[in-house]
Amino acid sequence: MRAGKGHPCAGFTYIAVILAVALMGTMLALTGEVWHTAQKREKERELLFVGNQFRLAIGQYFESTPGKEKQYPKKLEDLLEDNRFPFIKRHLRQIYRDPMTGTPEWGLVKGPGGVITGVYSLSNATALKTGNFAKQDEQFAGKGQYADWQFVYAPQDATTLPRPGVTTPPGAGEPGSVTSPGSDSTSSGNPSATQPPPDDSNPVAKQRADCQTVFVREHRICQTTAREKGPEAERECNAAANAQNAQCLEAVSAQ
């Protein structure tokens, strides 16, 4: 016998359908929330990486200042093309986008005279990560918003942040590593391995050492590129680093 319109089974079926739809909606909402959280944590990791790239570049600009009086950059573009030398030094490959806002606009931490000592995100969103930061970022612990994560370079950071030509790049000597043209460090893959300390009394030697410093930094960036984008991108990056270093050495030799 078929259940009629008023049969009790029809009511039970209707309730079961409602419960199933409600359960599916709840599951979809939970899945969406988990996905959103995972996306946000990935953006946080990217913000920490990019922010530290800015901080490291600002530190390199400051520490490599010609003469005794150190200088901070006046604008972020100075990190792309440092014109204080006979050749162009590049402390940063590009003005990265803020992962939290999706734009290349950053908040700037200003020092005396309007110089830039650091950057921070313009996002006021609440941060998921509140602890277990790396040493250079431990001051972010307990900070509630991304705008509170200020990537500032201070001179004392020079002892804790990696510096090109001092710290051996990760993976030196591994496949895909590069060697500076004219360098003797072909066996180790580390462009700075056999470089003697620069002679400050010899301007040409100092400038060649500056070329080598830039090359080591580019080498490190290429290895990061390999991890993020694969070996083909690493090869292109290495080729660009070699070309830039050759141009730098040619500019010094032409003086």
The full 3-state SS of 21-54, as one line of letters, equals HHHHHHHHHHHHHHHHHHHHHHHHHHHHHHHHHH
Q: What are phi and psi of 139, to 5 degrees?
A: -70, -10
pLDDT of residue 225: 62
Q: Alpha-carbon dihedral of residues 225, 228, 229, 234, nearest 10 degrees?
A: 30
pLDDT of 208 strictly over 90: no
pTM for the structure as a whole: 0.55
Angstrom distance (rounded) from CA 65 to CA 85: 9
Angstrom distance (rounded) from CA 77 to CA 94: 9
pLDDT of 106 strictly over 80: yes
**From the centroid of its chain, how far is CA 235?**
19
pLDDT of residue 68: 84
pLDDT tens-digit profile of 158-204? 555 554 433 333 333 333 333 333 333 333 344 443 344 444 456 66
Q: Where do the domains of the chain lie?
A: 42-161, 164-255
pLDDT: which is higher, 143 or 243: 143
pLDDT of 23 strictly over 70: yes
State the pLDDT confidence band at 254, using cuts at 50, 70 and 90.
low
- Judged on CB neighbours under 10 Å (0-12, 13-18, 19+), 243 is exposed
What share of residues in the chain are helix, strand, coil (percent, to 5)?
50, 5, 45
pLDDT of residue 16: 74
Type of residue at 165? G
